Amino acid sequence: MKRSQLVAISILAVLLVAALVSGAARADSHARQFRDLPEARPSSAFPLGTDDLGRDRLSRLLFATGISLVLAPAAAVLATVLAALVGGMAGYFGRWWDKCTVRVIDLMLSLPWLFLLLAARALLPLNAPPVASLAMTYGLLAVLGWAGPARVVRAGTLRLRQSAFVLQATAEGCGALRILWRHVIPNLKPLLLAQFWTTIPVFILAEANLGLLGLSASEPFPTWGNLLRELQNPFSVRLESFAPLAVVMLSVACFKLATPSQERYT
Amino acid sequence: MKRLLVLIAMVGLALPGVRAGQVATELHFCLHSEPKTFDPLLVDDVNSETIRYLTGGVLIRIDRKTQQLTPELAASWEVDRAGRRIAFHLRPNLKFSDGTPFSAEDVAYTMKRLMDPETHSPTADPFRSSDAPAQITVSGTLTVSILFGAPVSGLERLFDQVAITSARSPLKTAAVLGPYSVAEYKPGAEVLLSRNPNYWKVDVQGVRLPYIDRIRLEIQRNRDIELVRFRRGELDLISSLDADTFDDLAKVAPRSVFDAGASLESEMMWFNQAPSAPLPAYKLAWFQSTAFRRAVSEAINRADICRIVYRGRARPAEGPISPANRFWFNAALKPHAYDVASSRRRLESDGFRIRNGRLYDREGHPVEFSVVTNAGNHNRERIASMLQQDLEAIGIRLNVVTLDFPSLIERITKTFDYESCLLGLTNFDLDPSAQMNVWLSSAANHQWNPSQKQPATAWEAEIDKLVRAQAGETRAEVRKRYFDRVQQIVWEQAPFLYLVTKDSLTGISPEVQNSSPVAMTPQAFWNIEFLRKQVPPAGSR
């Protein structure tokens, strides 16, 4: 592992631990409104001040960080597994299966994501608790976000299918599923890993977009997206309001740095 | 010497303080989308309404400041005791903007066109008290009377919306009697209005109004860009500011912001009581219980919402009529008091119990419901968040759901798949007859339980009776008595939980003189003909 990857993963780990410790110390600190202290300046009690409802900005930022650092990778795992299944089978079995899959991937990639997400979100049950609505939002991102990685996986599988070791295994009478499971997928691991890491920042930014539109987690849950909304009014923005932006940028940069090189595969 | 005089004359024209009229003055402000029509009889959107207000001449105008009727094209009028006939006596020697003389024939032509079902005029709807056609009689050039098939409540006030068009002008609806006429329209960009040279009003010195020569209405959908341009001094007026923006502007330009007090806009919440709603029976029972609704209302700290969300530029709401509506507001009503102890008592009296900080109904169901509101409305999202904390104090778990607007409307008007809703209400019309479509239990906009075949409750039946009675009554004081009772019932039964009445906040450039913002639309330019604009020194912008 390169030093830059190590540093990036360490930073992400520190952020995650800080978020989890903060959450464990006081579960409702992100939601509690100190109504006598709206928009308070940073102080020892509130190191990043309070928001317009008097909620502790630091607690909310750490809570949002925890959410994104847990749920975005979880959604990325789901998207990568779907991509591996769909892309792997298309690449390996070829013929009509491949043709159909390619069309479905093209269709998925041509869909207007945001509108699809809006429509899908409008169908969610109204009484879902905030944590469930957030999980469903990330779940939707995963279900809608597998197509890009699937195309890459398919291309990789196509190449592997024509490799010498697969030809040899076929010649020795190995079944298709065994070849796929024992030979193809293990060789796709670096590719899948790269897809996993590159998908995380995509999902983080997609959630941030939804949050900016007010369509991410429901109140009182903070997410990076809805915390960034404080920056929408350029005339009233304060220095401490940039903290979520800094953390989002830092995290996305760390995920990008942590993405393993695909050189081993290519 | 001759050259020097020419030079002095040229410099004089460019300098401030030269006599008004020598340098053309232009007022700039924004429309927030394309006006759908320039035909004053077909107006049904805010932007077309703005054009109509600035260009249309009306027989009677509601003075936006006093909220009283003032004679305009009609020097006087009479309404018969039955409220069916109105007779106008017109001002003599008036002309349309193109010079065509104005007469009673134009009023008759306008009214015939207005009432013609083929015109599909939204302005005509309140006049349609019966299926019988209106009979219009012209007597001479300056008297016209209109007889309607049945009494029309608040008849004379409705003429505030009827801009008179010419029966004879070749320009048709483009010939106007208001202070301005449309000079140029660039779709998607701007509407330029120029001063009507034949406008009939003069000031006390006998100077013909309006003072400002042109109005440039830029079509700008983005409120942030509008605000930036106002701050730069490129726009002169900005209406309906939110409290955050108002405070930001007040910090940098305190002379350019105006809080005109309570507006006609309020925020409210209601529970879905429709029996056809896909809700569990026990939840429907909560929502149909007056005690439950009143308990929720009493647990809401409206003062905090005003102070925090609206920065003090709002006030706890009493009911459906804002105090800004001076005549119709029921001054005997006070906002539901914030009283958690009383709220708990009400709930207990209705069979609810609080155990370990959670509220349970008599069957043991934990009380939890969702409130839907439109995504992107930061103030509503903040209110919802405050409601969450307030209701937690009486053991209720509130789930806030923000939806895109079409999805929200679909749920509250078609599928009824929601539990409670938080939205705003704007009354453009002062007269309560305009709210008939909300209060009648048979109405589709009777939001908590729409389109009822029979009133579901005794109090809804009483409201039906009262709003019908006031609509058929012409004596204002009797109508007021009826509608005061409606407000009282709504206060007692709380089908809508009125939360706050927002202040009317506007921004007006210090260069604009004689401005006097009000609660009614158009807040900032209701007295457009009297507004003056100081010509800024050359290069000051």
Class of residue B163 by CB neighbours under 10 A (exposed 0-12, middle 13-18, buried 19+): buried
Specify the pLDDT at position B11.
40
Which residues does chain A have within 8 Å of residue B309's beta carbon, measured at their own beta carbons? 52
Give the residue on B whose Cα is nearest the Cα of A212: B376
Provide the Cα torsion B371, B377, B382, B388; round to 10°: 10
Percent of chain B scored above 70 by pLDDT?
A: 95
B382 touches chain A (CB under 8 A): yes
B245 touches chain A (CB under 8 A): yes
CA distance, residue B447 to nearest chain A CA (Å): 19
Which residues does chain B have within 8 Å of residue A133's beta carbon, measured at their own beta carbons? 401
- Looking at B25-154, list the stretches that DSSP marks H as alpha helix, in order from N- to C-terminal side: 46-55, 104-115
Give dist(CA B39, CA B54) in Å, integer: 13
Contact B399 A127 (CB under 8 A): yes
* Of B377, B382, B402, Cβ closest to residue A52: B382
Is the confidence at residue A196, as pLDDT, over 80? Answer: yes
Is B140 in contact with B134 (CB distance < 8 Å)?
no
Which residues does chain B have within 8 Å of residue A33's beta carbon, measured at their own beta carbons? 385-386, 389
Helix (H/G/I), strand (E/B), else coil: B59: coil
* Of A32, A53, A126, Cβ closest to residue B382: A53
Give dist(CA B250, CA B252) in Å, integer: 6
A38 touches chain B (CB under 8 A): yes
A219 touches chain B (CB under 8 A): yes
Amino acid at A115: F
Specify the pLDDT at position B538.
57
Contact A214 B376 (CB under 8 A): yes
Pairing mode of beta strands B214-219, B237-238:
unpaired
**In sequence order, which residues have a C-beta less than 8 Å from that of residue B497 and are 6 or more positions away?**
B268, B269, B270, B293, B296, B297, B300, B336
Is B31 in contact with B193 (CB distance < 8 Å)?
no
**In sequence order, which residues have a C-beta less than 8 Å from that of residue B95 and are 6 or more positions away?**
B101, B102, B198, B200
**In sequence order, which residues have a C-beta less than 8 Å from that of residue B453 and are 6 or more positions away?**
B442
Q: What is the pLDDT of residues A88-141, one digit of tens each?
A: 888 888 888 889 999 999 888 888 877 777 777 777 788 877 777 788 888 888
Q: What is the pLDDT of residues B447-494, one digit of tens each?
A: 999 999 999 999 999 999 999 999 888 888 999 999 999 999 999 999
Which residues does chain A have within 8 Å of residue B308's beta carbon, measured at their own beta carbons? 35, 38, 52-54
Which residues does chain A have within 8 Å of residue B366's beta carbon, measured at their own beta carbons? none
Specify the pLDDT at position B367.
97
Closest residue by Cα to residue B395 from B436, B431, B362, B353: B353
Is the confidence at residue B167, as pLDDT, over 70? Answer: yes
CA distance, residue B41 to nearest chain A CA (Å): 37
Percent of chain B scored above 90 by pLDDT?
A: 82
Exposure b/e, A29-60, CB count within 10 A at least 16 = b: bbbebebebbbbebeeebebbbbbbbbbbbbb
DSSP of chain A, one letter per residue? --HHHHHHHHHHHHHHHHHHHHHHH-TTTTT---TT-TTPPP-SSSTT-B-TTS-BHHHHHHHHHHHHHHHHHHHHHHHHHHHHHHHHHHHHH-HHHHHHHHHHHHHHHHS-HHHHHHHHHHTS-TT--HHHHHHHHHHHHHHHSSHHHHHHHHHHHHHHHTSHHHHHHHHTT--HHHHIIIIIHHHHHHHHHHHHHHHHHHHHHHHHHHHHTT-SSPTT---HHHHHGGGG-TTT--GGGGHHHHHHHHHHHHHHHHSPPSTTT-
A115 touches chain B (CB under 8 A): no
Inter-chain Cβ pairs, chain A and chain B, closer than 8 A: 78
Is B126 in contact with B158 (CB distance < 8 Å)?
yes
A127 touches chain B (CB under 8 A): yes
Is the confidence at residue B1, as pLDDT, over 80? Answer: no
Pairing mode of beta strands B143-147, B257-271:
unpaired
Q: What is the pLDDT of residues B279-303, one digit of tens each?
A: 999 999 999 999 999 999 999 999 9
A31 touches chain B (CB under 8 A): yes
Give the residue on A whose Cα is nearest the Cα of B304: A35
Give dist(CA B513, CA B246) in Å, integer: 20
Q: How confident is the model at residue B537 (pLDDT cuts 50, 70, 90)?
A: low
Is B521 in contact with B348 (CB distance < 8 Å)?
no
Q: How confident is the model at residue B433 (pLDDT cuts 50, 70, 90)?
A: confident
Contact A218 B399 (CB under 8 A): yes
B388 touches chain A (CB under 8 A): yes
Specify the pLDDT at position A215.
72
Q: What is the pLDDT of residues B206-227, one digit of tens each?
A: 999 999 999 999 999 888 899 9
Q: What's the mean per-residue pLDDT of chain B?
A: 92
The neighbouring-strand residues paired with B353 are B360
Map A225-243 to HEC letters. Answer: HHHHHHHHCCCCCCHHHHH
Give dist(CA A125, CA B408) in Å, integer: 13
CA distance, residue A107 to nearest chain B CA (Å): 24
- Reported pTM: 0.85
Q: Which of residues 233-252 of A touch B (CB under 8 A)?
A: 233, 235-236
Specify the pLDDT at position B536.
63
* Tokens linked to B342: 């009383």
* Of A122, A129, A130, Cβ closest to residue B404: A122
Q: What's the mean per-residue pLDDT of chain A?
A: 86
Is B158 in contact with B428 (CB distance < 8 Å)?
no
Specify the pLDDT at position B4.
42
Specify the pLDDT at position A110.
86
Q: How confident is the model at residue A262 (pLDDT cuts 50, 70, 90)?
A: low
Contact B378 A214 (CB under 8 A): yes
Contact A219 B370 (CB under 8 A): no
Is B111 in contact with B72 (CB distance < 8 Å)?
no
The CA-CA-CA angle for residues B507, B523, B75, to 5°, reads 140
Contact A35 B376 (CB under 8 A): no
Give dist(CA B248, CA B256) in Å, integer: 11
CA distance, residue B244 to nearest chain A CA (Å): 8
Contact B386 A53 (CB under 8 A): yes
Contact B378 A129 (CB under 8 A): no
> What does DSSP assign to residue B58?
B
Q: How confident is the model at residue B358 (pLDDT cuts 50, 70, 90)?
A: very high
Contact A31 B389 (CB under 8 A): yes
Closest residue by Cα to residue B308 from B251, B378, B383, B391: B383
CA distance, residue A19 to nearest chain B CA (Å): 22
B378 touches chain A (CB under 8 A): yes
Contact B401 A33 (CB under 8 A): no
Q: What is the pLDDT of residues B3-53, one digit of tens each?
A: 444 443 444 344 333 344 457 899 999 999 999 999 999 998 899 999 999
* Of B244, B388, B400, Cβ closest to residue A236: B244
ipTM: 0.78
A215 touches chain B (CB under 8 A): yes
Contact A126 B418 (CB under 8 A): yes
Which residues does chain B have within 8 Å of residue A214's beta carbon, measured at their own beta carbons? 375-378, 381, 402
A28 touches chain B (CB under 8 A): no
CA distance, residue B372 to nearest chain A CA (Å): 8
Give dist(CA A248, CA B534) in Å, integer: 48
CA distance, residue B323 to nearest chain A CA (Å): 27
Lowest mean pLDDT, pick from A74-78, A156-160, B49-53, B486-490: A156-160
* Of A33, A119, A126, Cβ closest to residue B401: A126
Contact B372 A126 (CB under 8 A): yes
Q: How confident is the model at residue B351 (pLDDT cuts 50, 70, 90)?
A: very high
Exposure b/e, B410-438, CB count within 10 A at least 16 = b: bbbeeebebbbbbbbbebebbbbbbbbeb
B305 touches chain A (CB under 8 A): no
Closest residue by Cα to residue A135 from A207, A199, A63: A207
Give the residue on B whose Cα is nearest the Cα of A127: B370
Give dist(CA A26, CA B70) in Å, integer: 63
Q: What is the pLDDT of residues B169-217, one digit of tens each?
A: 999 999 999 999 999 999 999 999 999 999 999 999 999 999 999 999 9
A36 touches chain B (CB under 8 A): no
Give dist(CA B116, CA B131) in Å, integer: 12
Q: What is the pLDDT of residues A45-70, one digit of tens each?
A: 999 999 999 999 999 999 999 989 99
DSSP of B267-335, one letter per residue? EEEEE---TTSSS-HHHHHHHH-HHHHHHHHHT--HHHIIIIISTT-EEE--SSS-TTSTTT--TT--P
Q: What is the pLDDT of residues B367-376, one digit of tens each?
A: 999 999 998 8
CA distance, residue B374 to nearest chain A CA (Å): 9
Q: How confident is the model at residue A263 (pLDDT cuts 50, 70, 90)?
A: low
Contact A54 B308 (CB under 8 A): yes
